[in-house]
């Protein structure tokens, strides 16, 4: 009869269990490397070894790697203390053992390895806890060693021409809680989805954040300097970026309806428009469709004649500020221009009806 799996509490003296931490007096949110090594006097009987810190809201843990070498098992974790003062870190260590012949039979293969686990006993081994004394840190934006940059593609743009801005944060430390660093009053800001890369390493979380924006305005504006406070676990720092003054140039072919109204139409053009409306009234539905197509033709031509993604994006921002959100995002990502134009033309009628 198969034996029932059991869990037996053993003392650490019977085994080789060693806990090492990079420091027991870290600062608040300072990365701490935990290395645990387990060795057994009967390595040939080991089926598996499992080790982990006990979950605790006072300390954040991330598994890094596990290595096995000649019966020695090493586990690495990255810790972040989230509370100042004294923290006790407890651990869980479980070892499953079986008879040597059972393990050898499994290694040689019986055809049932995928369905029948190896019989054995699970031992719960007591590991002495680690006591941390976490040092105080004044509230800051960043914990670690970081660098921030803000770049613009130009310092002069035409009215409603998108200005492309990127903000990048890189460094090592505790994962920053940075969501939307760019704020400019009085302008239209289109945001791309942030690109956030976080990799946990023995030195801490390696972070690379990229925020991309398209800024549109009809007047001069200033991109303010970004200012973040940092503690690199040795001293406090201020991270800043330069401010940028952007000059907005009004192009000759852009009409300002308030300061530069449209010229009075010639009498013949007014008369021609009146005739068109009369023709619609007299001819009925068919003529109404024809007039609708004539009226739409200019809109469609402007869309089709846009030479690149920037021109088409500027057109949408000015004429259709509340429509074509998906198409605007696709233009920022510089996806297929012809496909985007087709989608915009299809949505013109729906955009028009949504305004009423």
| Ordered mean pLDDT values, 10 residues apiece, the chain (356 residues) | 37 67 98 96 88 97 94 96 98 90 60 63 93 98 98 91 94 95 91 93 98 92 97 97 94 49 43 50 46 61 82 85 89 89 86 67
Instruction: Mark whether 105 and 28 lie in a shared domain.
Output: yes
Instruction: Mark whether 299 and 331 lie in a shared domain.
Output: yes
pLDDT for 116: 62
Which tokens in the block code for residue 293?
Answer: 């197509």
User: In terms of DSSP H, where are the helices of the chain?
Assistant: 100-108, 267-283, 285-304, 309-319, 325-332, 337-346, 348-354
Instruction: Mark whether 16 and 130 lie in a shared domain.
Output: yes
Query: Does the residue 328 lie in any domain?
Result: yes
The C-alpha R_g of the chain, in whole angstroms, comes to 34
pLDDT for 207: 98
Q: What is the DSSP letter of 30?
A: -
Instruction: Mark whether 16 and 51 lie in a shared domain.
Output: yes
Instruction: Mark whether 198 and 112 lie in a shared domain.
Output: no
Instruction: Mark whether 119 and 170 lie in a shared domain.
Output: no
Which tokens in the block code for residue 191?
Answer: 């945001």
DSSP-assigned states of every residue in 50-94: EEEEPPBTTEEEEEEEEEEETTEEEEEEEEEE-SSEEEEE-EEEE
Measured CA distances, 326 to 217, 329, 344 (Å)? 21, 5, 10
Instruction: Mark whether 179 and 109 lie in a shared domain.
Output: no
Domain closes at, from 249, 282, 311: 249
Domain closes at, from 219, 249, 279: 249
* Burial bucket for residue 162 (CB in 10 Å: 0-12, 13-18, 19+): buried
Measured CA distances, 52 to 26, 110, 168, 201, 310 (Å)? 20, 32, 34, 17, 52
Query: Does the residue 2 lie in any domain?
Result: no
- CA dihedral for 309, 314, 315, 320, sign (positive or negative): positive
Query: Does the residue 344 lie in any domain?
Result: yes
| Domain CATH number, residue 152 | 2.60.40
Q: What is the DSSP letter of 179?
A: -
Split into its structural domains, the chain has a count of 3
Instruction: Mark whether 242 and 285 lie in a shared domain.
Output: no
Query: Does the residue 255 lie in any domain?
Result: no
Instruction: Mark whether 293 and 243 lie in a shared domain.
Output: no
Query: Does the residue 348 lie in any domain?
Result: yes
For the chain, give the number of residues: 356
Please say whether the beta carbons of 123 and 213 come within 8 A.
no
Instruction: Mark whether 65 and 30 lie in a shared domain.
Output: yes
Query: Does the residue 177 lie in any domain?
Result: yes
Instruction: Mark whether 279 and 200 lie in a shared domain.
Output: no
pLDDT for 272: 53
| Domain CATH number, residue 89 | 2.60.40.10
pLDDT for 15: 58
Domain closes at, from 106, 134, 162: 134
Instruction: Mark whether 78 and 186 lie in a shared domain.
Output: no
173: nearest Cα among 151, 140, 195: 140
Query: Does the residue 258 lie in any domain?
Result: no
Task: Give residue 345's domain range.
Answer: 267-354
Query: Does the residue 271 lie in any domain?
Result: yes
pLDDT for 290: 45
Which tokens in the block code for residue 150?
Answer: 């803000």
According to DSSP, the residues that pair with 75 across neighbouring strands are 36, 66
């Amino acid at each position: 009869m198969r034996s029932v799996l059991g869990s037996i509490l053993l003392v650490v003296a019977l085994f080789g269990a060693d806990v090492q931490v990079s420091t027991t007096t870290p600062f608040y949110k300072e990365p701490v490397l935990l290395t645990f090594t387990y060795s057994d006097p009967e390595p040939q009987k080991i089926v598996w070894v499992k080790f982990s810190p006990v979950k605790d809201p006072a300390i954040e843990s991330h598994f890094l790697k596990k290595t096995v070498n000649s019966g020695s098992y090493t586990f690495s974790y990255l810790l972040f203390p989230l509370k100042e003062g004294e923290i006790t870190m407890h651990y869980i260590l479980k070892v499953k053992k079986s008879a040597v012949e059972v393990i050898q039979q499994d290694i040689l293969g019986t055809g049932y390895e995928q369905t029948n686990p190896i019989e054995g006993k699970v031992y719960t081994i007591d590991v002495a806890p680690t006591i941390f004394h976490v040092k105080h840190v004044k509230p800051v934006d960043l914990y670690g060693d970081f660098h921030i940059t803000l770049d613009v593609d130009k310092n002069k743009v035409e009215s409603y021409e998108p200005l492309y801005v990127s903000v990048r944060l890189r460094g090592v430390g505790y994962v920053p809680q940075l969501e939307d660093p760019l704020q400019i009053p009085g302008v239209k800001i289109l945001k791309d989805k942030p690109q956030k890369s976080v990799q946990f390493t023995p030195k801490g979380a390696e972070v690379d954040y990229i925020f991309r924006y398209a800024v549109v305005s009809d007047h001069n504006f200033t991109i303010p300097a970004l200012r973040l406070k940092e503690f690199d676990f040795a001293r406090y720092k201020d991270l800043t970026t330069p401010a940028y003054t952007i000059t907005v140039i009004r192009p000759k072919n852009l009409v300002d309806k308030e300061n530069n109204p449209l010229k009075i139409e010639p009498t013949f053009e007014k008369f021609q428009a009146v005739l068109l409306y009369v023709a619609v009234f007299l001819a009925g539905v068919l003529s109404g469709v024809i007039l609708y197509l004539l009226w739409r033709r200019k809109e469609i031509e402007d869309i089709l004649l846009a030479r690149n993604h920037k021109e088409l994006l500027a057109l949408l921002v000015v004429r259709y500020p509340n429509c074509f959100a998906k198409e605007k995002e696709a233009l920022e990502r510089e996806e297929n221009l012809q496909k985007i134009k087709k989608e915009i033309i299809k949505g013109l009628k729906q955009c028009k009806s949504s305004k009423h």
